[in-house]
Structure 1
Amino acid sequence: MAILGILVAVAVFLETVSATSLGVVYTEGGMVQGENIRLGFRRHMDIFKGVPFADMPGRFEKPKPHPGWDGVMKTTEFRPRCLQPNLIATDSRGSEDCLYLNIWVPHGRSVSKDLPVMVWIYGGAFLVGGSMGANFLDNYLYSGQEIAERGDVIVVTVGYRVGTLGFLSTGDSGIPGNYGLWDQQAAIAWVHRNIRSFGGDPDNITIFGESAGGASVSFQTITPHNKGLIKRAISQSGVALCPWGVNRNPRRFAEEIALKVNCPTDDRMAACLKMTDPVQLTLAGSLDVSGSPDYPILFKLLLSPVIDGDFLPDEPSNLFHNAANIDYIAGVNDMDGHIFTAIDVPSINSDLVDTPIDDMKRLLASYTKEKGAAGLNNAYSTYTSTWGSNPSRETIKKTVVEIGTDYIFLVPTQAALYLHAANAGTGRTYSYVLSEPSRLGGLIMPYPSWVGADHADDLQYVFGKPFTTPLGYWPSHRDLSGYMIAYWTNFAKTGDPNKGGLSVPATWPKFTGDGHKYLEIRNNMDKNFVRQQMRLRYVNFWTSVLPSLPTVYSE
């Protein structure tokens, strides 16, 4: 026994002495030192939190390079998120000094080099969010540890300005807007210039994001400002073509904000807004989270990117040639619209009451209002064509969710995939739908049992939460999380989600203009989960039938 004890002690000593770590890393701004953790035998990870990628930004100005620092900066704590309203919009949280990123670097027997890099852009309606995500018992949603460790990639999560300070625009050169997108772009460029020092391959950067982060990923691939910086991209539940992706009338909203903070709305407006207290500005842009079928909450999301002639020189649909050589995955959750339609038509979440068909019609009328009665009638007949003469209560509720999912996420995502494939040079295109039933059914909220994957349900699986907090999940959830991490990191390594070292349960075919093949992702998936022409009838309605009708009402 004594000999065994000595051997163990020697092994532990050798393991500690040879702990693989980058130690102090030189970046363009100065030296940084993170924290090194042990993952298992001969496996370690360096984690850097709060590395500055730009200076504290000026109000309504593009980000500027960081001036640098002396000595070694300890990067072991997350920095505050960018200034934003708190959850109940009564006060603000965060700071204007928020352009920092976090880096997870896995090591095996020796210190890693030339690893693929995955850069995460968080969602939050362009209004809220942070590079570390929500925190539950010191378990941060966007911790890159599980992805980095399981997929053998470097994970970077970045902060960017949100809300008024990130996306307000006067529609002219006074306050052109898109500051949050410029922050993301500065972070991507910083990673490209510096990641080699952390063991990453600057020529193999994948950007990925969800919701407003998925749309941001899409914007970053189509802007001319990222030429040569991005190799691959993944948009989860959000693309540049989403109806909430671009604010078409920024001036009107800027004037509303100006009035709330006592600024004039004439040619002095921009100067006054730049002088206004940042907390006041932030709260003036917070969202009224009520909705109705006649005024869906979607139409209140007004702090979004704008076509500024610079970051976005044209309509997003005309810019896909800029993504010709970027490999692209885009997909949705099968009930992405549930969380939004439940605000507009709350009865869908009650098993005990009917959802009036009239509520469904009013929601459709809001989404098709530019086309008047003809738009509504066409939409109604499209969505009720499979109902039969006596649709069940559940059928009506599910149809309301399908309408929201199609309009807000699914159809624009299919349109973006089609444009990406049509413009592709070397870039490959892949489409998916996540259909894992929501875990919230009866768990936290009184969700009906029929709810599929709701908006943001994908995040826990991509970030490996079923492994981090095993007690909160079933083994089937760990299967699903393992599959998603395998597809995502294989894709980051090779541009093919099927190849890259991790085995997958089904071969995911490319999306092409004729086959429209996609993968349905679920815990019990197998090779039979390859499908084609996702909701083609509805995609066709929104992208070709509806636009061909005469416009009777425009803003």
Structure 2
Amino acid sequence: RTVLFVCFLCLYVCLFLKTFSLFELGVVQTEGGKVEGKSISLGSGRSMDIFLGVPFADAPGTFEKPRPHRGWDGILQAKDYKPRCLQLTVLMNDYIGSTDCLYLNIWVPHGSSVSAGLPVMVWIYGGAFLVGGSMGANFLDNYLYSGQEIADRGNVIVVTVGYRVGTLGFLSSGGSDLPGNYGLWDQQAAIAWVHRNIRSFGGDPGNITVFGESAGGASVSFQTLTPHNKGIIRRAISQSGVALCPWGINRNPRKFAEEVAQKVNCPTDNRMAACLKMADPGALTLAGPLDVSASPDNPIVFNLVLSPVIDGDFLPDDPSHLFHNAAEIDYIAGVNDMDGHIFTALDVPSINSDLVDTPIDDVRRLLGAYTKEKGAVGLNNAYSTYTSNWGSNPSQETIKKTIVGVGTDYIFLVPTQAALYLHADHATTGRTYSYLFSEPNRLGGPLLPYPSWMGADHADDLQYVFGKPFSTPLGYWDNHRRVSGAMISYWTNFAKTGDPNNGGSSVPVNWPKFTRSAPQFIEINSDMNNNYHFLLRELLLTAHFLIFRPCPLNPRDDCEGNSHTNNQVTFKVT
């Protein structure tokens, strides 16, 4: 009996330890060498491996494409974030970061066994192609782009990547001597590294979703359009940014390159590129600040000049002509309902104050800047459309909200619509989905810095996608957790199956596909219910899509339906 008791006791202890032990990957072999992260307990028998600062490329040369990493001996301790890429500080009078910055971070969840074959979500951060980092903003070691909540709640692997920004990432001479797009090449190198190595971390290299916001959302769009990612990306999510945005492509890069050259004492003739490549990286970074002297006549969006270019390589043609490359990619794209607020508040500061009137003429001035190429007729048509429901004496709230609406439409909404139509038109197996995020900004109210009528500002969606209402619960309410839970469910279901409704996580309402004949979308907020789970897009765009339309929607036609071969995407006033 004693022997039998001991056997039962040993069996019980083994089962107990198996139930409550942490599963972990331990040391992982990558193409560059061995890496070791850290393992944490998530409770309820779940655990997670976290690898921070894994190199996916060597330290890049100035204005050179990323190079494969040379590898390392021994075991690389991947337990801390690496510095972000060299970039300007908030005041733009100094720089931070490092030129050795091509690293990525990986979150791998485990349940009752070590994970294998998990879907992979690769995050590309935003920041106007000027600033940002793979870890995001940090408050008391709470990093915005921590992938822990997404990975745990959605049972997916999350990867966040670093890439060059500002002058070092996007300066271009417009020629082959300084072609630009170095930041996009960094992103592509990271995605390719994930495709080659993620199986060792328990991921499925055949199921990679890239997602990003703002410049990151546009980057996602570019990554689906370039021929260099054929067969690597299976799904993609663009939040508040697509390749067709008016700030997405710099069509006159030489002008700014010459301005930078003069600031670092380089010639502006055929010796310029060689000189710039030898210049101090810090000086080059300081030479590319953003001009923030905005006004309704000179909107801030026109000053975002450090952006991708049509280089004949990464982007062999205008983005509107490259959607055939995304034909097999499932795609989600959407905007926040007041995405333009952060920009129009710089153009027209009075919109944020209840105590300062916003002149009606500011609406006309802003529209005039956006429709400059269309002349007086275009401006008058646009103005009459946006003011058609004003009446004879519009309130200040109406005027201020109209300005935000104009900015949102021009900078984000209409280009996103065009990208959705083009993706749906060219899709073979790829599915298309559209959304509008409208959870009100948490800083809106009579005693707060934003007006009480504020909707979702630019970047407001980030805290919900990355699960901050769960990781920092004291800073949020239950309605915020509903929004966050819904977004994580939609996003990770989509990463698993290509359908945001199906993938193991419950969602509040069904999300219909977007097609040209049925351009449907969902509105994401804390009050989602089955009474309005989709609307026809035309209802939203009565005063939107008819004003600013990226042309051509039919890739080889101009806005008047005439065939053309140039690389211009203009905006039409109907």
Matched with 2:430 is 427
* Counterpart amino acid of residue 327 in structure 1: D
Identify which range, 86-95 or 74-83, moves more after superposition: 86-95
Which stretch shows the higher mean deviation, 60-69 or 281-290?
281-290
Matched, 1:299 2:299: no
> CA distance change for structure 1 residues 16 and 99 in 2, over 3 Å: closer, same or farther?
farther
| Paired residue total | 547
Matched, 1:54 2:57: yes
Report SS of the residue matched to 2:546: helix
For the pair 1:178 / 2:181, whether they are aligned, the reply is yes
Q: How is 1:125-164 mapped onto 2 (pairs within 5 angstroms)?
A: 125-164=128-167
Per the alignment, residue 228 of structure 1 pairs with 231
Q: CA separation in 2, counterparts of 1:53 and 1:443?
A: 48
Instruction: Tell me, yes or no, if the aligned pair for 1:330 and 1:431 is still in contact at 8 Å.
Output: yes
- Higher mean Cα deviation, 286-295 or 375-384? 286-295
Q: Give the aligned partner of residue 269 of structure 1.
A: 272
CA separation of 1:16 and 1:258: change in aligned 2, threshold 3 A? farther
User: Distance between the aligned counterparts of 1:541 and 1:21, measured in 2?
Assistant: 54
Letter in 2 for 1:542: F
- Mapped contact 2:126–2:214 kept (Cα < 8 A): yes
> 2:554 maps to which residue?
none
Structure 2 counterparts to residues 181-260 of structure 1, below 5 A: 181-260=184-263
Letter in 1 for 2:510: T
Which deviations, in whole Å up to 9, do the C-alpha atoms of 1:209-233 show, x marking residues without a partner? Answer: 0000000000000000000000000
Letter in 2 for 1:535: L
| Structural RMSD (CA) | 2.1
Question: Matched residue of 2:500: which SS?
Answer: coil
1:404 maps to which of 390, 404, 407: 407
Counterpart CA distance in 2 for 1:264 and 1:360 is 42
Residue 444 of structure 1: CA displacement?
Answer: 9.3
- Residue 549 to residue 320, structure 1, CA distance change in 2 (3 Å): closer
Q: TM-score, normalised by structure 2?
A: 0.92
Q: Look up the match of 1:454.
A: 457
**SS of equivalent to 1:457:** coil
Return the alpha-carbon distance in structure 2 between the equivalents of residues 387 and 216 of structure 1: 38
User: How do 1:77-92 and structure 2 match up within 5 A?
Assistant: 77-92=80-95
* Shift in Å, 1:456: 0.1
Structure 1 residue 289: deviation in Å?
2.3
Greater shift in the superposed pair: 60-69 or 371-380: 371-380
Contact 1:375/1:549, CA 8 A, preserved across alignment: no
Unaligned runs of 5+ in 1: 1-5
CA, structure 1 residues 288+549, in 2 after alignment: closer, same or farther (shift >3 Å)?
farther
How far apart, in 1, do the equivalents of 2:125 and 2:56 lie?
16
Deviates more, 1:41-50 or 1:537-546: 537-546
- Once residues 445 and 269 of structure 1 are traced to their aligned partners in structure 2, the CA distance between those partners, rounded to angstroms, is 49
Query: Aligned partners of 1:270, 1:31: CA distance in 2, in Å?
Result: 38
- SS of 1:127's partner is coil
Instruction: Compute the displacement of 1:536 (Å).
Output: 4.1
CA distance in 2, matches of 1:347, 1:159: 36
Whether the aligned pair in 1 keeps the contact of 2:20 and 2:45 (CA below 8 Å) is no
> How many percent identity over aligned positions?
74
SS in 2 for 1:540: coil
Which residue does 2:97 correspond to in 1? Answer: 94
**Residues 443 and 179 of structure 1: is their aligned pair in 2 closer, same or farther, counting only changes over 3 Å?**
farther
Deviations 1:62-97 (A, max 9, x none): 001001000000000000000000111111000000
Task: Give 1:322's aligned residue.
Answer: 325
Code of the residue aligned with 2:28 in structure 1: it is: V
The answer to whether structure 1 residue 540 and structure 2 residue 543 are counterparts is no
Higher mean Cα deviation, 446-455 or 538-547? Answer: 538-547
1:35 equivalent in structure 2: 38
Q: Secondary structure at the match of 2:545?
A: helix
CA contact (8 A) 1:80 1:98 kept: yes
Distance in 2, matches of 1:444 and 1:196, equals 51
Does the 8 Å CA contact 1:364/1:379 hold for their aligned counterparts? yes
**Is the Cα contact below 8 Å between 2:415 and 2:550 reproduced in 1?**
no
8 Å contact kept, 2:386–2:543:
no
CA contact (8 A) 1:15 1:42 kept: no
Deviation of 1:16 after TM superposition, in Å, equals 9.3
Asked if the contact 1:115–1:200 (Cα under 8 Å) also holds between the matched residues in 2, the reply is yes
Aligned to 1:220, what secondary structure does the other structure show?
A: helix
| Structure 2 CA distance for aligned equivalents of residues 379 and 443 of structure 1 | 32
**Structure 2 CA distance for aligned equivalents of residues 321 and 123 of structure 1:** 25
Residue equivalent to 1:331: 334
For the residues of structure 1 that align with 2:347 and 2:284, how far apart are their CA atoms?
Answer: 27
In structure 2, the partner of 1:18 is: 21
What residue is the counterpart of 2:115 in the other structure? 112
What do residues 78-120 of structure 1 show as CA deviations (whole Å, max 9, x unaligned)?
0000000011111100000000000000000100000000000
In 1, distance between residues paired with 2:151 and 2:368? 46
2:533 maps to 1:529? yes
User: 1:153·1:489 contact (CA, 8 Å) conserved in 2?
Assistant: yes
Query: Are the aligned partners of 2:92 and 2:286 in contact in 1 as well (CA < 8 Å)?
Result: yes
Identify unmatched segments of 5+ residues in structure 2: 1-8, 552-557, 563-567
> Take 1:137 and 1:12, find their aligned partners in 2: how far apart are those partners?
38
* Partners of 1:291 and 1:343 within 8 A in 2: yes
AA of the residue aligned to 2:541: R
Pair 1:367–1:11, CA change in 2 (3 A): farther
Counterpart Cα distance in 2 of 1:65 and 1:420? 32
Aligned-partner SS, 2:549 = helix
Decide whether the 8 Å contact of 1:210 with 1:238 is kept in 2.
Answer: yes
Contact 1:164 1:303 in 2 (8 A): yes
What whole-Å deviation, never above 9, does each CA across 1:478-497 have from its counterpart, x for those lacking one? 01000000000000000000
SS at match of 2:68: coil
Aligned AA (2:100): D
Taking structure 1 as reference, are residues 418 and 444 closer, same or farther at Cα in structure 2, changes over 3 Å only?
A: farther
Structure 1 CA distance for aligned equivalents of residues 448 and 100 of structure 2: 36
SS in 2 for 1:491: helix
Amino acid of the residue matched to residue 126 of structure 2? G
Instruction: Kindly indicate whether the alpha-carbon contact (under 8 Å) linking 1:521 and 1:529 is maintained by their aligned counterparts in 2.
Output: no
| One-letter identity of the residue aligned with 1:103 | I
Deviation at 1:286, TM superposition (A): 1.5
Aligned equivalents of 1:15 and 1:290: distance in 2?
62
Please list every run of at least 4 consecutive aligned residues from structure 1 whose deviation after the TM superposition is greater than 2 angstroms: 9-13, 15-18, 442-445, 544-551
Q: State the secondary structure of the residue aligned to 1:422.
A: helix
The residue type paired with residue 470 of structure 1 is P
CA deviations over 1:264-298 (Å, ceiling 9, x no partner): 10011001111111011001112122311111111
- Structure 1 counterpart of 2:385: 382
Q: Tell me the residue number matched to 1:477.
A: 480
Q: How far apart are the structure 2 equivalents of 1:263 and 1:544?
A: 37
1:327-384 Cα offsets, whole Å, 9 max, x none, are: 0000000000000000000011111222101111111111111111112111101111
Residue matched to 1:75: 78
Output the CA distance in 2 between the equivalents of 1:130 and 1:44.
Answer: 26
The 3 A distance-change label for structure 1 pair 547 and 351 is farther
| Matching residue within 509, 512, 526 for 1:509 | 512
**Corresponding letter in the other structure for 1:432:** Y
> What amino acid is the match of 2:356?
V
Distance across 2 between alignment mates of 1:165 and 1:234: 26
Q: Distance in 2 between matches of 1:421 and 1:229?
A: 20
Which residue is 1:3 aligned to? none
Cα separation, 2, equivalents of 1:455 and 1:36? 34
